[in-house]
Structure 1
């Protein structure tokens, strides 16, 4: 099935162009980059590679549209109508988007269907926020009417990663547009195609010229000058912690707001009162969905010692049953990692883990029966892992997890919190009181109880520590795409003559 897709796509080898000021165009330099199918290693298209010149053009278009008021100054109700039209178009084109994203990033079609099908509702949710938003009237001392207005920021830079191109974009694009901002989107150079298609649907829905702009290209050539641009008022970035740190510094130089969703080292804590099958199924889902290429993946599975050996045995059986292969085959459960470079990095981390004493429970090799040329790795589990090992501390971003024992509740909490990351964790227990107690002590931005990977447009998404700053989705995200303006109205009909000779007491503030 992959081969058929490649034939149909490669007959024209599409080029992901830029979209600036209402027009698709090539970069000023004319430079292009190849786009690779990670399941086969074959070229499936190209992208037009932007640089600083193109970034400046895109930011200017976004700024001009914002200042014109064509989107920023219309009512929330009118913006909501456009976003709801877009959500309907998004939904009507889901089948095409499923297949295009699977082709581009290698996720099994069953995963892209399950994830992308929910995304139109993100735009509906934020359309509802825009439609129903009310400014606050705040009681203050004295004869004054005091109210707070939330106003859009201006130009927002939205930079997304390869692992969930449409989902990550939707989390920030929906609130950015709902609040009246103009945007410049910079997708990963590895997965540009679904973003281009989404922009086409936005145009069809009626987004005004210049409000949405798209630049493709390398992070250092397009992403860095975008984050550094003085006219960008907010930067949203999803990716690695060190790149995020650099982007955060650039944004801080011109006092831009920022939301950075960065690395993670998720902990899945399993207590001995949990049904073993449920625990194994939950841990497998947490660790290997998206080939482990998610910042919230369950890359550390902490199991109470009394069931540790039983868990290892059952977990090995489960992991060995996971089917890797052609992402377009509905039976495939695990796709490739994104690139040869990524695969090489992961394999080096596995060698380091072995050298440090970790033992392989299963996996750990490049499979010989996977599609030829693809960047596949067997689903891999390590045990006899100690907290100080690299594999227990650093993000792998691949289908790799470790299983570590703990004795008591406090041990599990200490191990889980013992990393520089704090994005997501899961707690598996049938003890209701313990589940809430443990969740309250975990230094993570998101905690799931008897579940993992759950996302909703109404729920804030983000982490603590080196996992980033700010929140995507939820009311928090809606408000973070705005700035507050306080308006105070003297309702007495009189003005104090401060400089009169009268000794009458006067109020200064």
Structure 2
């Protein structure tokens, strides 16, 4: 296979070239992970917890180097890179604490019979993560898998393998040889990894279309699968809500990472009484955003990750404008600093009609659709017009009203009058076309464990 070339979104500079994996190298890596699991399980939960804390400490010590590498390769600002790396480190601390809490149980069943349940690792895990958060999505899968005793193979997106390789190097120092490895390549390589008979667990984050293919291929081997997929998340703002706080929440989520966030709000569904005020607040704020090279101190938003990603976003915006939406902001920034990369300016799309692509498709870039509604029933109808169900936000001065509306919007993760942060302590994932299974929380650890039940005469044990 031809080597993989990795380019900087800022200006197209080649950051590196890597050989790609094939069926033979994947087979060798899966078998090595399976062999290494025996010693990792025998080491015991306390030792596994200690190793997780060592990985966290060593990663934290390397933050300046890692932030620069992540920023260059992905395109996010240094500040955003540091925030993401903090999210990578967090799960190692969290699951170090949970590793020692994994245990079986024993039952006296009566009639001289007893039962015993043992919990152990499900097996070698294959994780596939996208380019928008290559570090944090790696950590949220790796840490619970290691805590459970699993071997682990990570396939990063073909455009962001360098940060993954460096993070894996830091972790591998503390792990049995072969337990953790990186698989390099595109979709064909990912399919080989998922289909390998030695892989027992598949953890995927990415688009809904690819997730369906992953699920189908994993299903042939009856593998355990989790899918964290796309979304077209609604942000419902009802009359009387704190518009200033809501505007700050939207700016901190929708336009974070240049809008390339699966669980960020894509559609502001706003009651007529506060629509104009909210649009004014957001317009003022997006005009303050400074697109620029990811490591430039003055930049507050980096480029989109790929040329194709920018083209798709521009097609979605053009479709909405052609259908009658009003564009506020947007376009490509002028200037030498942004001329060679995939830069765009943040934008609002006001009143895109039903049928416009932005009403039902995931928009992966810094554009927010604004849909005015008369009342909460219409707001709920608009919120539910997509097939997705990843995240949702509801803002209202009436707390009970907000809860009532939130419960009528199917979503795996819902914020009520709260900033759209994802917390490691809580399970995260979608419903409907946004996936199945959960990451984070004790629920993620459970997904890497297998129960085995033993029945025996009570006196013999």
TM range (shorter): over 0.9
> Which residue pairs with 1:6 in the alignment?
none
- Cα distance, 1:136 vs. partner? 2.9
Residue 380 (structure 1) aligned with residue 347 (structure 2): yes
Contact 2:102 2:119 in 1 (8 A): no
**Are residue 133 (structure 1) and residue 102 (structure 2) matched?**
yes
Equivalents in 2 of 1:305, 1:147: separation in Å? 60
Is 2:25 aligned against 1:85? Answer: no
- Does residue 213 in structure 1 map to residue 181 in structure 2? yes
Q: Distance in 1 between matches of 2:151 and 2:26?
A: 14
1:162-311 pair list within 5 angstroms: 162-204=131-173, 206-220=174-188, 222-311=189-278
Q: Which deviations, in whole Å up to 9, do the C-alpha atoms of 1:48-99 show, x marking residues without a partner?
A: 2222222222112112223xx1113331111111111111111111111111
- Distance across 2 between alignment mates of 1:493 and 1:95: 58
Residue in 2 that maps onto 1:469:
436
| Partner of residue 122, structure 2 | 153
418, 424, 429: which one aligns with 2:391: 424
Cα contact 1:461–1:473 (8 A) shared by 2: yes
* Aligned residue in 1 for 2:423: 456
Report the alpha carbon displacement of residue 179 of structure 1 after superposing the two structures with TM: 0.2
If the length of structure 1 is used for normalisation, what is the TM-score? 0.87
1:302 is displaced (CA, Å) by: 0.8
Q: Is the 8 A contact 2:389 2:432 kept in 1?
A: yes
Q: Which residue of structure 1 aligns with residue 89 of structure 2?
A: 120
Structure 1 residue 141 displacement after superposition: 5.2
- The TM-score normalised by the length of structure 2 is 0.96
Deviation at 1:147, TM superposition (A): 3.0
- Counterpart in the other structure of 1:76: 45
Shift of 1:139: 5.9
Q: What secondary structure, in the 3-state scheme, does the structure 2 residue paired with 1:45 have?
A: strand
Structure 1 position 319, deviation (Å) = 1.2
1:150-181 CA distances to partner (integer Å, 9 max, x unpaired)?
Answer: 11111100111100111000111001111000
Please report how far the alpha carbon of residue 326 of structure 1 lies from its aligned counterpart in structure 2 after TM superposition.
1.9
Moved more, 384-393 or 192-201: 384-393
Provide the C-alpha distance between the structure 2 equivalents of 1:100 and 1:472, rounded to a whole number of angstroms: 26
Question: Matches of 2:458 and 2:305 in 1, distance apart?
Answer: 62
Over aligned residues, Cα RMSD in angstroms? 1.7
In the aligned structure 2, how far is the partner of 1:121 from the partner of 1:396?
Answer: 28
- Which residue does the alignment assign to 2:8? 37
Q: Establish whether residue 433 from structure 1 lines up as the match of residue 400 from structure 2.
A: yes
Q: CA deviation at 1:493?
A: 6.5
* Offset, 1:203: 2.1
2:32 to 50, 58, 61: 61
Assess, with a 3 A threshold, how the Cα gap between structure 1 residues 119 and 33 changes in structure 2: closer, same or farther.
closer
Does the 8 Å CA contact 2:249/2:420 hold for their aligned counterparts?
no
- Structure 1 pair 350/139, CA: closer, same or farther in 2 (3 Å)? farther
The structure with the largest alpha-carbon Rg is: 1
Segments of 5+ residues of structure 2 without an aligned counterpart are: none
- The alignment partner of 1:233 has SS state of strand
- CA contact 1:110–1:330 (8 Å) conserved in 2: no
Residues 139 and 435 of structure 1: is their aligned pair in 2 closer, same or farther, counting only changes over 3 Å? farther
- Higher mean alpha-carbon deviation, 175-184 vs 353-362, is at 353-362
- The whole-number CA distance in structure 1 between the counterparts of 2:406 and 2:166 is 40
CA contact (8 A) 1:163 1:294 kept: yes
